[in-house]
Amino acid sequence: MKMESKNNIAKFKILKCIINENKFIHKSDIYEKTKVPIEQINVILKELEKSGYEFSFNPHLGYKLVKVPEEYNPTLIKAGLNTEIIGKQINTYKKVNSTNKKLLANTNSKEGMVLLSEAQFNGKGRRNRKWVSPEGGIYLSILLKSREDRKYIPIFNLIGAISIAESLKELYNLPVSVKWPNDVVLDSKKISGVLSEVDSRSENRMVMGIGINVNIDSKQLPPRSISVKEYLQRSENINKLKLIWELLKNLEEKYFLYKNNKLKNIMEKWKYYSGLLGKQVKIFSGTGEILEGYVNNIDGSSGAMILRTDTGLEKVILEGTVEKI
Ligand code: BT5
């Protein structure tokens, strides 16, 4: 048991070192950086290859990680994470009912805990809608804490959606936009959705759930959906891990802004990624009302939409589905 965990620590160090390098690295440099003896580095590299990692080897330059297995491995996920709290605790699964449901049920989870599954039997959307969750997508939930004075769900949905949009733009240059309150769309098709929920037992425990269509054929998805792989017309699978690292880093950055009451920055990002500001829209509100008007703004503290109706009234809408007219 002790040997096993020592080997795991060495594996973690080596992976972190190779991932951070992000280019070829010599074994001697791996040793310099990790202090894992060269013989053990050799053994670990072989073990990693056996479990699906692929390295490109150049006798002059050394090793470079080119492919990681599709299966999640918490050690590897942690190795590439650049965060302070999000993802310090990670649980991974092959298939669960719903990552949100599972995380909400886990009363021992700490702030920043991440739960990831390769697929879901019964992925949830808002108001009992379904989130179709075949293998090839990212399905994750994160435990967060809301500020005492800001328990609004829409702001969490916006933080999630903006972070997803930013990550997809930074990594693949996708021309994505954020559709209030919780969708990320590409070419008017949905590529990702966010579902934030409050833990009914403890009001400031929030679970933010994120689904992203990554390596999925849209034939498996509802109409008007798209995946990253499909949009980019790649034959090789997209590296989900890289996207997870980028996403959790971006998310933590926004989460800290929220915690420190610096919401102005989040609203600026929303303005950048939203195609909606100033546009004429129809809103099917959470209370069943249908409203028409122009999107005036998003309220910085709650994430609610401020709609100016034809009669000049300003309406504050916390939840709903929006359509451009
Ligand atoms: C959402 O709801 O968009 C929230 C989706 C959140 C999913 C994540 S996955 C991890 C975590 N665990 C869960 O159980 N859920 C979260 P909403 O705005 O209500 O949109 C739902 C609608 O999107 C459905 O009615 C379909 O029309 C459409 N839809 C369902 N699956 C989709 C998919 N994979 N891609 C694109 N659109 C989809």
DSSP assignment of 146-170, as one string? Answer: -BTTB--HHHHHHHHHHHHHHHHHH
Cα angle 303, 266, 228; round to 5:
95
pLDDT of residue 1: 41
**272 vs 251, residue with greater confidence:** 251
**Closest ligand 1 atom, residue 126 Cα:** 19
List pLDDT tens digits, range 157-198. Answer: 999 999 999 999 999 999 999 988 889 999 889 999 999 998
Residue with the nearest Cα to atom 29 of ligand 1?
131
Evaluate: CB of 100 within 6 angstroms of ligand 1.
yes
Evaluate: CB of 227 within 6 angstroms of ligand 1.
no
Mean pLDDT of 29-40: 94
**Closest ligand 1 atom, residue 137 Cα:** 34
Evaluate: CB of 190 within 6 angstroms of ligand 1.
yes
Q: Which ranges of 53-152 would DSSP assign to H, the alpha helix?
A: 74-80, 99-105
**Closest ligand 1 atom, residue 123 Cα:** 14
Ligand 1 binding pocket mutation candidate from 72, 131, 192, 229 (most atoms within 8 A of CB):
131
Residue with the nearest Cα to atom 23 of ligand 1?
131
List pLDDT tens digits, range 76-86. Answer: 888 889 899 99
Evaluate: CB of 180 within 6 angstroms of ligand 1.
no
**248 vs 79, residue with greater confidence:** 248
3-state secondary structure at position 109: coil
SS3 letters for 203-253? CCEEEEEEEECCCCCHHHCCCCECCHHHHHCCCCCCCHHHHHHHHHHHHHH
Q: Residue 85 Cα, ligand 1 centroid: separation in angstroms?
A: 26
* Residue 182 to residue 193: CA distance in whole angstroms: 6
Q: Residue 46 Cα, ligand 1 centroid: separation in angstroms?
A: 39
Band of residue 209 on the pLDDT scale cut at 50, 70, 90: very high
List pLDDT tens digits, range 305-324. Answer: 889 988 888 988 888 888 88
Q: Which ranges of the chain would DSSP assign to H, the alpha helix?
A: 2-21, 27-34, 38-50, 74-80, 99-105, 153-172, 228-232, 240-259, 263-273
Q: Residue 129 Cα, ligand 1 centroid: separation in angstroms?
A: 7
Evaluate: CB of 211 within 6 angstroms of ligand 1.
yes
